[in-house]
Structure 1
Amino acid sequence: MGIVALIIIGAAAGFLATRLMGVETDIPTTMFIGIVGALVGGLILRALLAMMGALSGFVGAVLGAMLLIWLWQKYGPTP
């Protein structure tokens, strides 16, 4: 997957994940969460991607971003 595609999918996944988790963040943080979530989700769901296609890659990106948000809320800095 190209860098541009990773940024676009990551931004979309980060946006969706922050909305699902009820987190308000700025655009760069949302993109960072989505991109890292896409990497984590892509690694975890690689077998699913082989079976179901590109849609599972987006699902994995959203799930990875949601996991990252949860870890950030649980162990990250408190405001």
Structure 2
Amino acid sequence: MGLIIFLVIGLIAGVLASYIMGKKQDLLLNLLVGVVGAVVGGLLAGLVGLGATGLIGQIIIATAGAIICLWVWQRIR
């Protein structure tokens, strides 16, 4: 059950990040960006002492991580 929730949070974060960054992507790529962003956002939030409480907090952290991932990907390309 935890993996399914993690994937749903990643999908929501990927869709939100793609809209915020103005990048139109398909569903699978949004899921990938969101899941990687959730991991990156969780690591960065832990480094600065922030914690995500509840579903909304997890989505916010994952979206911030996904935005960072998309921004880095744009700079690399």
What TM-score bracket applies, with the shorter chain setting the length? 0.7 to 0.9
- The match for 2:14 is 14
| Code of the aligned partner of 1:32 | L
- Aligned-pair identity (%): 35
Q: Supply the RMSD in Å over aligned alpha carbons.
A: 1.6
Unaligned stretches of 5+ in structure 2?
none
2-side partners of 1:32 and 1:9: how far apart?
11
Q: Match for 2:50: what amino acid?
A: L
Structure 1 gaps of 5+ residues are none
Runs of 4+ in 1 over 6 A off after TM superposition: none
Deviations 1:16-54 (A, max 9, x none): 0000000011110010000000011011113321xx612
CA contact (8 A) 1:45 1:57 kept: no
Aligned partners of 2:37 and 2:65 also within 8 Å: yes
Residue 5 of structure 1, CA deviation = 1.0
TM, length-normalised to structure 1: 0.84
TM-score by length of 2: 0.86
AA aligned opposite 1:70: W
